Amino acid sequence: MITGKNCIAGEFSANGGVEFKTINPKLNKENPTTFVEVTKEEIEKAVDASWEAFKVYRNVPGKQRADFLNAIADEILALDQELIDAYTMESGLPEGRAIGERGRTMNQLRTFAKLVETEDWRGNTFDAAEPDRKPLPKEDLRKTMIPLGPVAVFGASNFPLAYSTAGGDTASALAAGCPVIVKSHPMHAGTSELVASAIVKAVEKTGMPKGVFSSINGRVQAGVDLVNHPKVKAVGFTGSITGGRALFDIAAKREEPIPVFAEMGSINPVIITPDAISQRGGEIAKTYAGSITLGTGQFCTNPGLLLTIKNDNTEDFIAELAKETIALDPQCMLHPNIKSGYEKKEADVTSQSGVEVVGKVDADLEPNYAASAIATISGSEFLANPKLHQEVFGPFSLVVQCKDDAELLQIIEGLEGQLTGTLIAEDNDTINLIEVVDALQNRVGRIIYNGVPTGVEVCPSMQHGGPYPASTDSRFTAVGVHAINRWVRPVSYQSFPQSLLPEHLKG
């Protein structure tokens, strides 16, 4: 049952006077539950409890942390239809998407559980003493990874489950031995509360310290207060460049600066060779129409920029892409604010000099449904206008027609950091793509060949991050088991007696 309260170390409370409701974007009306924003005192209580829990939880054996993560997955599944209904009611997304995202969330939790069952993930290193080494003896040295401390996690608007309360940031932080305080996203606070209740049950069933998890309701000020708290030691965020950069700056200005691992904006460039267009332009157009509109374009890996060399086939391909895109049924966006943001950004881009709108849905739409659109521009005009580099969060893509390979390379090298880059090519193109790959890998975290960027596999080889502003630290991933490395730091033990070493460093 959704109460509208904050979850403070296992206890549900609502001491504040500021209230809000979520929106059902399909019906364009408020949902019935009233949510109460967290107070500073409740934040203080949550963080204090997490700090006390950290003293215990950081030493909980990996097998027990694994049991805890698996119990969370079990309790999420036990929420059954109540969770699915809350998800669809607050997001406007279909039930199939809700079920799929629930499965992904559970898979992430179970993947991290499997990871921490042994201590191999710490990457322990052992350097034996060499007392007789000349000219100086060598001391015994052993290195391991230890958790940073309480982590503040900010839920994402576009993934109410997989990037939110029990999503990848929370799962990886708990796996590392860090307590978590989640600031739920106000667009799906009810979904978040249900998941929080599942985590509380898992805490109780596995005997974890109560302060290992809290979840708070709130908007901007709640996030600021949380990040400013001296006992919070790291931040996980998925959202806009504006929001992520604001948190990054707050964390950097603290008396003790802390890391902010923010996954932010990306237009995910796609390079399509002329041969690929000539050989299978219709197939590519159909595939990319589906990718551009998938989830109403509300994915961080949405292909918002297509690059190709202008030739006799280019205009036909762009026309076909536009035809395929606008033929797909318009879909509901997550919230009225996201719909208005999409319309503003799309208008900003399409009103720029040289931009031609090739196709756009022209129909009377329900209030929060989005009109898909495809536009095009020349390479020289794109290079001259930085405003065209901005992310349009929704079902929109800009096709840039470059005059030659040199201009294509110049565009790639001038892009801001991106999550992904994609090459659509024929086998005979590969010898000519070495420079393109070299330029692209310097700007992105993941390169796809003859595929689509939408869809992020949860596995060890996944890199979900990239140079700024795709993320605040391109050395780390937000998806896959290596996401755990964000929440730990290395410690070396020199000349230590066995009795004082952690168990996983003994021997």
pLDDT tens sequence across 391-404: 999 999 999 999 99
Give the model's pLDDT for residue 431: 80
- Contact (Cβ atoms closer than 8 angstroms) between residue 167 and residue 156: yes
300 has catalytic annotation: yes
Q: What is the spatial distance between Cα 431 and Cα 450, in angstroms, rounded to a whole number?
A: 15
- Contact (Cβ atoms closer than 8 angstroms) between residue 267 and residue 389: yes
- Contact (Cβ atoms closer than 8 angstroms) between residue 142 and residue 492: yes
Q: Which two tokens stand for residue 360?
A: 């756009």
pLDDT over 90 at 269, yes or no:
yes
3-state secondary structure of 405: helix
Q: Which residues contact 55 (CB under 8 A, 6 or more apart)?
A: none
Q: Could you tell me which residues are beta bridge partners of residue 30?
A: 23
Q: What is the spatial distance between Cα 412 and Cα 424, in angstroms, rounded to a whole number?
A: 15
Give the model's pLDDT for residue 432: 84
Give the model's pLDDT for residue 474: 97
Q: Of the candidates 430, 429, 412, which has an alpha carbon nearest to the alpha carbon of residue 421? A: 412
Give the model's pLDDT for residue 102: 98
pLDDT over 90 at 265, yes or no:
no
Read off the pLDDT of each residue in 19-37 and give the average, rounded to a whole number: 98
How is the chain split into domains, by residue range?
A: 6-12+26-264+471-505, 269-449
Give the model's pLDDT for residue 28: 97
Q: Which two tokens stand for residue 249?
A: 């700056």
Catalytic residue among 263, 320, 391, 407: 263
Read off the pLDDT of each residue in 30-52 and give the average, rounded to a whole number: 98
pLDDT tens sequence across 132-158: 999 999 999 999 999 999 999 999 999
Read off the pLDDT of each residue in 427-436 and give the average, rounded to a whole number: 89
Q: Of the candidates 453, 452, 398, which has an alpha carbon nearest to the alpha carbon of residue 286? A: 452
**Count of beta carbons in the 10 Å neighbourhood of residue 364:** 5
3-state secondary structure of 426: coil
Read off the pLDDT of each residue in 260-267 and give the average, rounded to a whole number: 95
pLDDT tens sequence across 218-250: 999 999 999 999 999 999 999 999 999 999 999
Q: What is the spatial distance between Cα 402 and Cα 307, in angstroms, rounded to a whole number?
A: 7
pLDDT tens sequence across 458-477: 999 999 999 999 999 999 99
This prediction's pTM: 0.96
What does DSSP say about strands 488-494 and 141-147: parallel, antiparallel, or unpaired?
Answer: antiparallel
pLDDT band at 183 (very low <50, low <70, confident <90, very high): very high
Q: Of the candidates 212, 114, 145, 188, which has an alpha carbon nearest to the alpha carbon of residue 458? A: 114
Read off the pLDDT of each residue in 315-336 and give the average, rounded to a whole number: 97
Q: Could you tell me which residues are beta bridge partners of residue 20?
A: 35
Give the model's pLDDT for residue 270: 98
pLDDT over 90 at 507, yes or no:
no
Catalytic residue among 7, 178, 300, 402: 300
pLDDT > 70: what percent of the chain?
A: 100
User: Cis peptide leading into 150, omega within 30 of 0?
Assistant: no
pLDDT over 90 at 316, yes or no:
yes
Q: Which residues contact 218 (CB under 8 A, 6 or more apart)?
A: 37, 38, 183, 186
CATH superfamily, region 269-449: Aldehyde Dehydrogenase; Chain A, domain 2 (3.40.309.10)
Read off the pLDDT of each residue in 189-212 and give the average, rounded to a whole number: 98
What does DSSP say about strands 35-36 and 19-20: parallel, antiparallel, or unpaired?
Answer: antiparallel
Q: What is the mean pLDDT of the chain?
A: 97
7 has catalytic annotation: no
Q: Which CATH class is domain 6-12+26-264+471-505?
A: alpha beta
Read off the pLDDT of each residue in 370-382 and give the average, rounded to a whole number: 98
pLDDT band at 430 (very low <50, low <70, confident <90, very high): confident
